Chain A
């Protein structure tokens, strides 16, 4: 088996999320160092607040202030903090029921070790120095030696300059491996060869190969060298410049049936004015120095292919 390729793959998105009225009040409150809950019609106070009663699904909007002090209802000791978590030093995850609330909020609790935390212990909010209207405006919880709830600010949930949205960055890291079939294809490309795989059942040759015949549902294991010449089966003219793409518009993107292949692959067509590209045009790949894949396909100068030779590949 040839060497299987691997490469780092990072997916990163700054998700922009809008807030409903209850979430907006809660997160704006955190910015102002006030914790708000929402009252259900049967008199419970939910912190963090939600817009619909989790039991009855009734819409709820009755905001009430609760104390920044509370009680740990359960905890877990995290001796190896991971990227993105609230504290970089070992800490306890804790569900904390704030004084005045009937439900618990998840956050980090800053204590020196697992012996310094227990269910039922009293804690209070440690505010972040810079607050923007996000759950991370609570930096973490810390031990609190008082039993009486902290004083309330008497907040109604009305603020100037309400926070109406948050940006939640998300980043995940992967090690991508394309598997056996595509590894072999990519490796051949770096040697300026196009390699497909033949289905043992229907005998069709797939380029690029994905390891399975989508018609027969069986593995395609027999490697077949295809091309380098091919035929344009269909194309489009691109008039919009993509960000960070160093190609002048308009340019032509086409489906190219390499000789010997039963599936057209796609690529850019160059070396010919865009308005002279046509179905049936014979092309070949152009490899630039050091490149692992063809930069584009250009005309070979051969006579156009007869329509019947590629009609099945459209």
Chain B
């Protein structure tokens, strides 16, 4: 199988609103940055794939207009997922694995400011039994948080600790929307307080993937993708055990997270990674993911601040993979796990394992 690496990553400064920019105006600088970092031009890219959702801005086929920022003439090989960009990256990765391209540009964006995200996200729920009740995204996360508290996996002070650690780490991340000391706040939907919830904002991100020697030409220390897998659970919330995330654990297993570097078989215990970028928009979801992935204190979790510091919907998962790769590029990590989620209460989960060359 070909070696494929993430060789460049760029993201916007994430903000509560970006009225002055259309989606393509917000996205374009990020596309230019990521291309500049590799010296590649649009014409050099073998495959382009994006992730976004029309429901956020309330406009149909918005991804086709965003393509203007790529420069899609003469014609390019392009695809789109109505999902977080992490899933677009998965599609691009398989395209490169199959040998259909040597380089890929993956980007994702979301403008949440025009609408009300809590209401918009109800439209992804079961349309017969659940969506007619309009349970918003915070309410569903709060049900999961209460289940965790009842099961003794966490309590409100521990959740406040997750929030404080995330925003403290984000102080070093100039792109983050919520940084430093943030009040834990009042209940939004009890037991979740405003501090347990992600900021609502607009933003975009882009990465470049390359295969084999091409990756080495483009990046001093490529972040090699050792495996990616994604799994889904039943849509019925009452069917699932909300205190666990078996789909995350299975995706991590299949992506090789529990194996030793370079293909040596591990013991199936804790993941052999030094960094984990987890897409946990709510503090309580970090508790679920840490348990599902058996992460102990030796693993640096969300040094970027994670989704609690910036959660541009449809881009936040891709940003986790980008942040993990950037740590490998900078030599701050040798083997990192990146996770992306979609759907209510961690319904769908993607795990990628990234590695730098041995030093």
Contacts and interface: CB of A to CB of B under 8 A. Distances in A.
A156 interface: no
Given A50-B236, A214-B71, A85 B25 contact: no
Contacts of A166: 128, 132
A83 interface: yes
B145 A76 contact: yes
Nearest to B150: A119
Interface in B233-249: 234, 236-239, 242
B35 to A, nearest CB: 9
Nearest to B126: A48
Given A104-B238, A181-B22, A214 B67 contact: yes
A212 B68 contact: yes
A106 B25 contact: no
A292 interface: no
A179 B135 contact: no
B40 interface: no
A23 B128 contact: yes
Given A83-B134, A168-B131, A215-B73, A179 B120 contact: no
Interface in A205-256: 210-219
Interface string A67-98: 00000011111110011111000000111010
A105 interface: yes
Interface stretch (A3-11, A142-150, A268-276, A282-290): A3-11
B133 A1 contact: no
A210 B22 contact: yes
Contacts, number: 192
Contacts of B68: 210-214, 217
Contacts of A307: none
Nearest to B31: A217
A73 B131 contact: no
A199 to B, nearest CB: 10
A172 B58 contact: yes
Contacts of A48: 129, 236, 238
A219 B28 CA distance: 8
Interface string B10-24: 000000000111111
Contacts of A4: 19-20
A108 interface: yes
Given A48-B129, A76-B142, A84 B187 contact: no
Given A174-B58, A179-B22, A54 B236 contact: yes
A211 B134 contact: no
Nearest to B42: A217
A93 B122 CA distance: 14
Contacts of B213: none
Contact of B189 (A11, A78, A170): A78
B25 A211 contact: yes
B20 A179 contact: yes
B25 A76 contact: no
A6 B19 contact: yes
Interface stretch (B110-118, B154-162, B218-226, B251-259): B110-118
A260 interface: no
Interface residues of B, number: 62
Contact of A114 (B139, B150, B190, B239): B190
Contact of A215 (B20, B71, B234): B71
A215 B72 CA distance: 6
Contacts of A213: 68, 71
Contacts of A77: 142, 187, 189-191
B132 A136 contact: yes
A15 B239 CA distance: 26
A163 B142 CA distance: 33
B25 A82 contact: no
B98 interface: no
Contacts of B129: 48, 105-106, 135
A172 B123 contact: yes
Contacts of A212: 24-25, 28, 68-69
Contacts of A54: 234, 236, 239
Interface in B36-78: 42, 55, 57-59, 65, 67-73
Nearest to A183: B20
A196 to B, nearest CB: 14
B342 interface: no
Nearest to B29: A219
Nearest to A79: B187
Contacts of B58: 9, 11, 172, 174, 176
A308 interface: no
Contact of B28 (A93, A94, A105, A217): A217
A214 B189 contact: no
Nearest to A74: B147
Nearest to B123: A170
Interface string B80-124: 000000000000000000000000000000000111101110110
A39 B27 CA distance: 49
A45 to B, nearest CB: 12
Contacts of A76: 139, 142-143, 145-146, 189-192
Given A95-B237, A173-B115, A174-B114, A180 B21 contact: yes
Interface string B310-326: 00000000000000000
A177 interface: yes
Contact of B114 (A170, A176, A219): A176
Contacts of A177: 19-20, 22, 114
B289 to A, nearest CB: 18
Nearest to A105: B238
Nearest to A76: B142
A15 to B, nearest CB: 7
A135 B132 contact: yes
A15 B127 contact: yes
A82 B130 CA distance: 15
Question: Nearest 3 CB-CB pairs, A to B?
Answer: A217-B71, A179-B22, A104-B238
9 contacts: A73-B147, A74-B150, A79-B187, A84-B133, A93-B142, A105-B129, A106-B238, A119-B150, A212-B24
Given A76-B189, A105-B129, 4 more contacts: A82-B136, A106-B237, A176-B114, A179-B25
